Amino acid sequence: MPKAPGLPQTFDLLIKGATLVNHAGERPADIGIKDGRIAAIGALPSATAAETLDATGLHVLPGVIDTQVHFREPGLEHKEDLHTGSRSAVLGGVTAVFEMPNTKPATVSAEALADKVTRGRGRMYCDFAFFVGATRDNVEDLPRLEKLPGAAGVKVFMGSSTGDLLVDDEPTLSRILALIQRRASFHAEDEARLRERAALRREGEPESHSEWRDPEAALAATAKLMRLATAAGKRVHVLHVSSAAEMQLLALHKDVASVEVTTQHLTFAAPEIYRELGTKAQMNPPLRDASHRDVLWWGLSQGVVDVLGSDHAPHTLEEKAGSYPASPSGMPGVQTLVPIMLDHVAKGRLSLARFVDLTSAGPQRLFGIAGKGRIAVGYDADLTIVDLNAERVIDEDWVGSKCGWTPFAGRKVKGWPVGTIVRGGKAMWEGELGTPSGEPVRFGEALPPKTIA
């Protein structure tokens, strides 16, 4: 392997003996890290370092980025906060998260965004960015808000979910798309149809949640979004795609639309999951039957799906124990994204390279993340280190989220996160946490100007 002149041979952290999974393929390599960034890749037999990690038998992946989490702070800290949510993330091998705006107050202003960034620094174990929620009142401000430090972009709720952010009328949606420059993310369920079908909810029967928020509600909103985005010539990101017809429609609109699926929608199926978990299985959009799940996997195998998200949306066990439909929608997932998907890799449902594309290269490509998303010299030293042969049973004692539960409890998986490296620091190693040192994710479309000396 060629050696560039001037590369350092003394590092802050040296990872030895691993199998590197990267844009260049899969191969044995050492990784030298200095000043929070990757400084050298390859055989480094004479290198020295302040700390050396023996990663023999392990695979080193680009740091996993979860682009949809709800960490509930401010205002709902009894369920989760930025510290505990990020703790859960790094225990599961996730190095960066994009957090959603439906907090109290909602993240709809520069002040609210800056407050979240301040709260995250020094308290979060992983790096972070925060979506700005679109409302009918802040549309004209969105071009400025979407480019502020720490902003992941704009999030639009076309259907009501947890919180009071809702934009469902076409004139406002069209105005949003006309004004913004970055790729906006959309929760696509048709609010009018949800209102019309609300009577289908049956007291004490959470399985009726999937009947109420039916596939047509998702398809109608997604079809409207495709029409508006195409007319505006803007890029949009459709979150947690859950239905077959949606996936087939989105396959025809890849010029404007990117696609997220969640671990839950790829793994669970209704109505069985409601019999197993009751209201713990309640989420928006809902879990659907296996025929829809099969088409989600088709979309993933055909390249229609761009990223995986967890839609980590914790509620307390007490809240979840409420009788449907008074029970809240949402379930934790940031900590289980990596082990559940590695188990799918072990079962042959996707390749390890495809997993990397969905969780690091994909987020970087869609959102224009600066310095993350691949293992390359000069990039942030964000690494997810996994043991593909480890077999574990997911146990709620392992859960780092404040909510204290997971819908995957008791599930045996093959493939486990061993280490989470964030900008060269050990955020987690063999289940032990490091020091919270999270910083805002930077974006190429919003980098501040620098003075070159």
Q: What is the DSSP string of 366-408?
A: HHTBSS-SS--TTSB--EEEEEEEEEEE--GGG--STT---TT
**Could you say which DSSP state residue 424 is in?**
T
Please report which confidence band the pLDDT of residue 62 belongs to, taking 50, 70 and 90 as the band edges: very high
pLDDT of 85: 98
pLDDT of 9: 83
Q: Token pair of 418, please?
A: 């061993």
pLDDT of 452: 63
Give 107-135 pLDDT, tens digit per residue. 999 999 999 999 999 999 999 999 999 99
Quick check: 9 and 46 in contact, CB under 8 A? Answer: yes
Quick check: 123 and 434 in contact, CB under 8 A? Answer: no
Cis-peptide, bond into residue 271, ω within 30° of zero: yes
When pLDDT is averaged across residues 334-357 and rounded to a whole number, the result is: 98
Give 177-208 pLDDT, tens digit per residue. 999 999 999 999 999 999 999 999 999 999 99
4 by DSSP, 3-state: which? Answer: coil
Return residue ranges of the chain for CATH 2.30.40.10.
Answer: 10-60+377-392+409-433
CATH number for the 62-367 domain, one of 3.30.465.10, 3.20.20.140, 3.40.50.720, 3.40.50.10320? 3.20.20.140
pLDDT of 446: 76
Please report which confidence band the pLDDT of residue 23 belongs to, taking 50, 70 and 90 as the band edges: confident
Q: Token pair of 417, please?
A: 């996160």
Please report which confidence band the pLDDT of residue 8 belongs to, taking 50, 70 and 90 as the band edges: low
Give 144-185 pLDDT, tens digit per residue. 999 999 999 999 999 765 556 899 999 999 999 999 999 999
pLDDT of 3: 53
Positive or negative, the CA dihedral 200, 284, 293, 320 is: negative
Residue 441 has pLDDT above 60, yes or no: yes
Global pTM value? 0.96
Active-site residue set: 311
Q: How far is CA 124 from CA 5, 107, 363, 399, 440, in A?
A: 37, 18, 20, 16, 10
Name the superfamily (CATH) of residues 10-60+377-392+409-433. Urease, subunit C, domain 1 (2.30.40.10)
Q: Look over the chain and give the mean of its residue pLDDT values, rounded to a whole number.
A: 96
Question: Virtual CA dihedral for 164, 169, 174, 179, nearest 10 degrees?
Answer: -30
Residue 4 has pLDDT above 50, yes or no: no
Return residue ranges of the chain for CATH 3.20.20.140.
Answer: 62-367
pLDDT of 117: 98
